[in-house]
Structure 1
């Protein structure tokens, strides 16, 4: 069982790294797009939609490994401290924001410029939620 728990923790941290890497990459890219020449913007705009699924995969890994760890290693959600439940709240809202961003991406790819213009702010909100969940997780498992 120890090897399974360690594997789940590795998957959990891999999901964390993947989610944050994709999120930070897109935040940097949005800054570059905003300052780029119009001709360059069209090329640069192709990057964020390619990175977004990586963040979704990372969050999926976090949820799957996290639930498995809570149930298998710590005996269920009822045994977890209050800050963990706050972290879970931030992670749940993060998933809702990711679903909204996926919907916006679909609209933007269909030509809806207004939907596309909302994506950078949505990514910023997602980054704040992910950071909040991370801080609360660290405080939960001190």
Structure 2
């Protein structure tokens, strides 16, 4: 039960952080004076979101192993969830690392790319949670 509660809380932080980060990124791209402050907030929120994604993997794997013995025979919805969660993790990690590098003087993501990745990760989060509900709801 504890893993499930932590899993839900981590999902809330991850998706909420992703949405908040997208909003800050849009605002920063439209206001050069506020951009440094908004980018700092975006990095802090991104750090929380990436840690929450890590917690999602830890709790999800623990529940999967504990409840299903690591069985891959949970149906297509489970595989869709895994694929969406994996791609979401890869994209989020990429944006996180790029953001840390940009903060140290590296090149930030171009706004169009950032918007595309933001929309993609949000869509993947919706797919992952939908597939999980389909898979694990009796």
Structure 1 length normalisation: TM-score?
0.84
> What's 1:95 paired with?
89
1:23 corresponds to which of 18, 21, 25: 18
SS at match of 2:34: helix
1:68 and 2:81 matched: no
In structure 2, stretches of 5+ residues that fail to align are none
Report the Cα distance in structure 2 between the residues aligned to 1:54 and 1:124, rounded to whole angstroms.
19
**2 CA distance for matches of 1:120 and 1:113?**
16
User: Pairwise CA RMSD of aligned residues?
Assistant: 1.8
* 32 and 114 in structure 1: CA distance in 2 versus 1, 3 angstrom threshold: closer
Partner of 2:133: 138
Q: 1 CA distance for matches of 2:80 and 2:99?
A: 28
Unaligned runs of 5+ in 1: 1-5
* Separation of aligned partners in 2, 1:55 and 1:64: 14
Taking the aligned partners of 1:8 and 1:88, their CA distance within structure 2 comes to 18
Aligned residues: 136
Correspondence for 2:53 = 59
Q: Is the 8 A contact 2:50 2:96 kept in 1?
A: no
Whole-Å Cα distance in 2 between the matches of residues 107 and 59 of structure 1?
20
Larger Rg: 1
Aligned: 1:108 with 2:102? yes
Relative to the length of structure 2, the TM-score reads 0.86
Q: Deviations over 1:81-129 (max 9, x none)?
A: 2211111011111111122112211331132345364444323322221
